[in-house]
Amino acid sequence: QVGAALPVDVLVYEEKSLCAVLRVVSGGFVKLWSALTLQGFYQNRRCAFRVLQTSPFLLALAGNSRELVLD
């Protein structure tokens, strides 16, 4: 959609690693992912986005269940 607006919240941004946690309503997830895929330049500089995790629950992003160690 050309000219469509979608509210996106930047919850966390780490400048050192250039990582961010974004929040969008579930109905906008595919639109956001598509927009990030199509974005090639920002302020006349090349850029690319890599999605590391997605979740409908913010708490699920706090840890990685694959690295969970039970004592």
Please report whether residue 35 resides in a domain: yes
Structural domain range at position 20: 9-67
Percent of the chain with pLDDT over 70: 83
- Mean pLDDT score, 32-57: 88
Entry pTM? 0.70
Please report whether residue 47 resides in a domain: yes
pLDDT at residue 44 greater than cutoff 90: yes
Please report whether residue 2 resides in a domain: no
- The residues, ordered by sequence, that sit 6+ positions from 8 with a Cβ below 8 Å of its Cβ are 22, 23, 24, 28, 32
As for how many domains the chain has, the answer is 1
CA distances (Å), 4 to each of 14, 32, 35, 40, in order?
28, 11, 11, 18
Please report whether residue 3 resides in a domain: no
Please report whether residue 21 resides in a domain: yes
Task: Report the C-alpha gap between 41 and 61 in whole angstroms.
Answer: 27
- Mean pLDDT score, 2-20: 85
pLDDT at residue 57 greater than cutoff 90: no
Please report whether residue 56 resides in a domain: yes
